[in-house]
Structure 1
Amino acid sequence: MTEDTIYFCMPLIGRLAANNWDHVVELLDQTLQSVLTQEGNIRVLVACNDVPASRFIDDPRLEFLRVQGAVPQTWGEKIRDKTIKLRRIADEVCRRGGGYVVMMDADDLVSNRLTRHITLTDNKIGYLFQAGYLFNVAGQNFCLTNDFPSHCGTCGVFYLGENDLTPGVGVCAIIENGKHTEYAKHSAAMGRRLEAVPFPAAIYLRHHGDNVSLARKSILRFRKTRNLVRRLLSRIYINDEIRAEFSIPPHY
């Protein structure tokens, strides 16, 4: 059983870069609601240009890490902005002596069973959310997938031990790079195979009106795969148990 801190870490889009800042904050609060129901020694680190007026602002487990920079305009600038924020997060976790780092987008939801699983298994390597739910909010399509890392950035947990506390190197480099489709590959190349969480661990929200995560998927690519996903995946009714586990807002 681990005594390490479990950090839920996410970059947040800047106010001037957002389509609707109030909606960004609303989505962030939904994410925080699902995270802050977790058990154990957790901290939430949000790297941001602007500190949002979150309804959880007074929770001592939540911290906003300010990052300075120009408003990103191009796709390349948005990628650099995200990398800067992830680097700020990695630096902070290293400064605090490491622990488990849960990589998140600031608009997804996580299972309230996650930290209990990490605490009890404590593999000192990391975990992969192989299974998860895809939720098209606009279309009200809710599906289970067993290839979750191909879809969502909220899919990996990395352990930073005493030998991993150098920003830009090793596990920190994976965190700072932020390419969720390659989490498993890059970690395995270091001899640290991520262990699959044995239950759906997160919900990937799509088409909710604003892309908070900064990890925008190509709309064209999504449209090409959408029909295939619908054919391969069974639609699931969002029952009360799932709603409670992930803190799904009642208006969804």
Structure 2
Amino acid sequence: MASSPEPGTPEAWAAARPPRPSSGDPEVVFAIPLISKARAYDWATVCHRLAETLGSLRAQSSHRWRAFICCQDRPEGISWDEQVTFLPFEIVDEVSAETVTRFDNHAKKERIFAHLAETHGGDGYLFQLDADDLLHPGLVEHIVTDDNGAGYWIEEGYMLDLRTGALAYMGPKSLRHPFAHTFIRECGSSSALRFDFRDGEETLTPIRDRGKHAEVPERMARYGYRMTPVPFPAALYLVGHGENMRQRRGKLGAKESYLRRNRLRAARAREVRNEFGLTELPLS
């Protein structure tokens, strides 16, 4: 006889809550915590990058998504409607030399989670999206059509240097790209986690315990969610715009090395630009 899982573990949580079948009408919810105006080096850049990120959502081939942006300050130049919602964050940001290189996104994500728990009532997939990354226009359609009831992670994508327009492959190692890393290893905008508020707020327990982004599929499996990879290059990880946290910490060198070692050939780079609608970036 198999022993019962130890109380308080993800396995115990999963055993007590077998997943319901999908409603057949899931949506993808994007949670976007945004750096405050006080903490930003250049607030106009932050707002512009957010607008570009939201543009990649509005370009989705499926309309079954919503986005929630949480910040101390309401970003300028954003169209707010039934799909894109601003959630004010009431805690004043105290900026210092120490906090300027730290995230304050955990509490902002909790604000978004609380709003969903109060208002959603249905099922779908929660995607924690950085406010500067771009998604393939077919991503939402794949998720809501395939609807595996467990979640998805992005294995393949690209790194984009906004200073030069250089594009690098991200995905499993291959003969052409022997030094490649998977997208989920390098970028936090890389997983869509299953939720079902028909079962109440407890559905957020695995999401809150997702851990580091590279560990998400393994962690979710312990909660009974066998996530699957998106079967195409599904996102762009943007660097070099001045507001990326790694760049703020003076640690962009590793990304520059990655770009050099995994650079796309010119023909493939043009294809990627077309796939993602990149028309106003420098050509490298």
Question: TM exceeds 0.5?
Answer: yes
Q: 2: distance between equivalents of 1:182 and 1:75?
A: 26
**Residue 84 of structure 1: aligned partner:** 107
Measured at CA, do residues 111 and 4 of structure 1 come closer, stay the same or move farther in structure 2, by a change above 3 Å? same
| Alignment map for 1:102-181 (pairs within 5 Å) | 102-146=127-171, 147-161=182-196, 162-163=198-199, 165-166=201-202, 169-174=205-210, 179-181=212-214
Measured at CA, do residues 168 and 99 of structure 1 come closer, stay the same or move farther in structure 2, by a change above 3 Å? closer
Q: 1: distance between equivalents of 2:195 and 2:128?
A: 13
| Alignment map for 1:1-252 (pairs within 5 Å) | 2-38=24-60, 39-57=62-80, 59-71=81-93, 72-73=95-96, 74-75=98-99, 78-79=102-103, 81-95=104-118, 96-97=120-121, 98-146=123-171, 147-161=182-196, 162-163=198-199, 165-166=201-202, 169-174=205-210, 179-211=212-244, 219-220=250-251, 222-224=252-254, 226-227=256-257, 230-231=260-261, 233-237=262-266, 238-239=269-270, 241-252=271-282
Q: Which moved more, 1:48-57 or 1:159-168?
A: 159-168
Q: 2: distance between equivalents of 1:193 and 1:184?
A: 7
Contact 1:112 1:246 in 2 (8 A): yes
Contact 1:165 1:172 in 2 (8 A): no
- How many residues align structurally? 242
* Greater relative contact order (Cα < 8 A, sep 6+): 1
Measured at CA, do residues 65 and 173 of structure 1 come closer, stay the same or move farther in structure 2, by a change above 3 Å? farther
SS in 1 for 2:202: coil
What are structure 2's unaligned runs of at least 5 residues? 1-21, 172-181
Contact 1:144 1:236 in 2 (8 A): no
- Report the CA distance between 1:89 and its aligned residue: 1.6
Measured at CA, do residues 189 and 32 of structure 1 come closer, stay the same or move farther in structure 2, by a change above 3 Å? same
User: Percent identical across equivalent pairs?
Assistant: 27
Q: 2: distance between equivalents of 1:193 and 1:145?
A: 22
Q: 1: distance between equivalents of 2:201 and 2:100?
A: 28
Residues 69-115 of structure 1: CA distance to partner in whole angstroms, max 9, x if unpaired?
Answer: 23243349933x21001111222222212421122100000000001
What are structure 1's unaligned runs of at least 5 residues? none
- Taking structure 2 as the reference length, what is the TM-score of the superposition? 0.76
Contact 1:167 1:173 in 2 (8 A): no
- Report the CA distance between 1:127 and its aligned residue: 0.3
- Taking structure 1 as the reference length, what is the TM-score of the superposition? 0.85
Q: Say what the alpha-carbon RMSD is for the aligned residues.
A: 2.5
For the pair shown, the structure with the greater C-alpha radius of gyration is: 2
Measured at CA, do residues 245 and 93 of structure 1 come closer, stay the same or move farther in structure 2, by a change above 3 Å? farther
